[in-house]
Amino acid sequence: MNYTNLQAVRADIQAGATNCQALVRQYLDRIEATKALNIYIEVFEEEALEQARQLDQKYQQNPESIGRLFGMVLSLKDVLCYKDHEVTAGSRILQGFKSLFSATAVQRLLEEDAIIIGRVNCDQFAMGSDNGNSYYGQTWNAADPERVPGGSSGGCAASVQAHTCLASIGSDTGGSVRQPAAFCGLVGMKPTYGRISRYGLLAYASSFDQIGTISHSVADAALLLEVMAGPDEFDATASHRPVDTYSPLPTLDRKVRIAYFEAALQHEQIDESIRELSMDFIEKLRSDGHSVEAVPFDLLDYIIPAYYVLTTAEASSNLSRYDGIRFGYRQREAADLSETYKKSRTEGFSPEVKRRIMLGTFVLSAGYYDAYYTKAQKVRRLIHQRTNEIFEEYDFILMPATPGVAWKGGDKSNDPVEMYLADIFTVQANMAGIPAVCIPLGEGTANMPVGIQIMGQAFKEQEMLCFARHYGPDQGQSA
């Protein structure tokens, strides 16, 4: 049976129809059957089975002692530290590196009896939109193995889509859980910046990065958020605001006000099928009594340029630690220290990572800092300000998750700008630091999945997820 929510898993375990060991074996069989999709970098087979055996024993001895995630089998994006396991960010530069600790989010998942079945492929250092920028090769979309699953958390999305796990933990810097969720017909959720500790998440752009989830179910996304959220002494950017009870989510019991951008739905990049599905969804919301109005937003075309100036600047700093000396890959034939640095980084990083490091270094350099970095920061402030102004009148902002459906492998590889524009609708939430969730909307061009994105006010994930659950794949299920 292909489970799509933890509630169904728990019901079958309670009825004696399955147990954790049987679940893990089922998922391991699916991993083997879908090897051609190149989803997993490493499978923790023996470890997951042993963990499942211990959890089954714990349940038999005292069913009341189990954690909130008992029965939840997860995959981890290869940017999250898991003690005594390799973590490489999909890059050669960290080849063979084993983490000495677990990320705070990962530790909290384990403490609630989640089972981690393996680490999955991703674009190197979370830099990419199709999972083609990985040292381990391209991951493919289970709906059409000639098409990409999105990125950078493409392996996360494909692992859930192919039923090799129940949910996956990824990271979202500019849409990296929501865009692949849309491409794979899943729920992708990015919380407010600071809601989940980033301790143990390999950094791309520290003021944008946030751990997120990909699942079949909004209810599962809410539960995972509840487990991972909260302050952390190891991360000064983690918020100390109280964590809401996200699970079980309350029923949507009121009519809401929703804004959308006409500029987005009429954008030259948008696929006609996505425009039509989005407009149909808007009409559905109106027929249900919600207020849905177009609002002006003249900053849409400035989002991507500002985002790539700021994130590459942060990346040039964050990635300077990978020097071939302290850990990971080292070029052994270098003649001296300087050559070791140059050759190790040249051979260890992909062309796309090197492109972003060089761009970031350029925009921070003397003579160009004010022209690019300072202006991009001003644009970010304006985007944040305008977004908050909209939330003074509306509960949510509605936006297509992507301008197009998943493309065929290699279609955008030779045009970085076209690849960057694939994130045009998801980057706003990261620029403003607000939560956003993508839910499936149907099928578009080439019968490929399409998603719609709901953005909420900072730290109001409960309201956002409650609305998403009402219109997402959970509708009709009990809380």
Q: Is the pLDDT of residue 428 over 60?
A: yes
Percentage of residues of the chain with pLDDT beyond 70: 99
Above 80 in pLDDT, residue 372? yes
Residue 36, C-beta contacts closer than 8 angstroms, at least 6 positions apart: 140, 145
Q: Is the pLDDT of residue 77 over 60?
A: yes
What pLDDT shows up at residue 436? Answer: 98
Sequence-distant (6+) residues with CB within 8 A of 278 are 265, 398, 400, 441, 452
Question: What confidence score (pLDDT) does residue 416 get?
Answer: 82
Mention every residue, 6+ apart, whose C-beta is less than 8 A from residue 41.
78, 88, 90, 118, 119, 120, 121, 136, 155
- 117-126, 325-334, 360-369, range with the lowest pLDDT: 325-334
Q: Which of 143-147, 378-382, 413-417 has the lowest mean pLDDT?
A: 413-417
pLDDT digits (tens, 9 = 90+) for 8-31: 999 999 999 999 999 999 999 999
Residues of the chain above pLDDT 90, percent: 90
Q: Closest by alpha carbon to 399, among 217, 141, 156, 179?
A: 179
Sign of CA dihedral 286, 289, 290, 294: positive
Provide the pLDDT for residue 477.
65
- Return d(Cα 396, Cα 369) in angstroms, integer: 35
Please determine, for residue 262, whether its predicted confidence score (pLDDT) is greater than 60. Answer: yes
| pLDDT on residue 269 | 87
Per-residue pLDDT averaged across 362-369, rounded? 93
Rounded mean pLDDT of 365-390? 96
Name the token pair of 46.
């023996």
Inter-residue contact 135 to 88 (CB < 8 Å): yes
Q: How far is residue 380's CA from residue 310's CA, in Å, rounded to a whole number?
A: 9
Measured CA to CA, the distance from residue 49 to residue 46 in angstroms comes to 5
Q: Are 115 and 54 in contact (CB under 8 A)?
A: no
Query: In the prediction, which pLDDT does 474 show?
Result: 87
* Mean pLDDT estimate for the chain: 96
The whole-angstrom separation of Cα 179 and Cα 126 is 13
Residue 476, pLDDT > 60, answer no
- Can you give the pLDDT at residue 433? 98
Nearest Cα residue to 462 out of 241, 146, 308, 141: 241
CB 190 within 8 A of CB 66: no
Query: Where is average pLDDT lowest: 52-56, 155-159, 241-245?
Result: 241-245
Whose tokens are 């919600």? That residue is 290
Task: Examine the pLDDT at 39 and tell me if it is beyond 90.
Answer: yes
pLDDT tens profile 454-463: 999 999 999 9
Active site residues: 77, 152, 176
Look at residue 152 in the predicted model and tell me its pLDDT. 96
Query: What is the 3 state secondary structure string of 289-349?
Result: CCEEEEECCCCHHHHHHHHHHHHHHHHHHHHHHCCCCCCCCCCCCCCCHHHHHHHHHHHHC
| Average pLDDT score over residue span 132-143 | 97
Exposed, middle or buried by CB within 10 Å (0-12, 13-18, 19+), for 89? buried
Residue 229 pLDDT more than 70? Answer: yes
Average pLDDT rounded to a whole number, residues 51-78 = 97
Is residue 478 over pLDDT 70?
no
pLDDT tens column, 166-195: 999 999 999 999 999 999 999 999 999 999
Rounded mean pLDDT, 413-438 = 92
